[in-house]
A = this chain, B = another copy of it.
């Protein structure tokens, strides 16, 4: 507590609802677009309309983290972009590894959306010797046995897992042992990880199943 009356109105980030955090990503994406299109300020109701949310929700979400708005004006787009990036931690710059260089892994290596958001893929890993040593989109592919070394040397902090289901838990264990702090799991398995490692799971088949359910149940009660 060095000096001044630093107002502590922020909440402990750990008890912010998960839904709020994922909307933050949406706000960020839309705000960047607005900045690019030259818009200087935006109100909660305009932003909400663009994203299919209510104005109150937008304000409540942002208010978890501080006072970013200007009454009578709205939110300054560039200011809010900077604030959200800082909240999400994407201003820190993250190094990422891709584990599993199949179809999906290759797609991630070539995905342009990551760099702009502060994520740099610096290495890929695979068990297939035919792939090891090659590079895809400028990223070198290493053997899985080199994981620990490369993670240490290149200071890799996050991993994206795109290996076959049967190999996923073991690959995840290796990532954890190598000291990685967060994993996005694209393999269709439920991983069990120590709770100090963050996990987000994405299952492509599951996404289609959600659509299937919605469509199959569109009309009234069976």
Contact = CB atoms under 8 A, between A and B. Distances in A.
Interface of A: 10, 12-14, 18, 21-22, 24-26, 28-30, 50-52, 87-90, 92, 94, 96, 102-104, 106-108, 110-111, 113-114, 116-119, 157-158, 160, 181-184, 188-190, 192, 196, 198-200, 202-218, 220-222
Contacts of A196: 218
14 contacts: A25-B203, A25-B205, A25-B209, A28-B209, A88-B213, A89-B215, A103-B110, A107-B107, A113-B203, A114-B205, A117-B209, A181-B218, A182-B212, A202-B207
A88 to B, nearest CB: 5
Given A107-B104, A203-B29, A215 B198 contact: yes
Nearest to A14: B217
A52 B190 contact: yes
B190 A208 contact: no
A102 B90 CA distance: 26
A218 B198 contact: yes
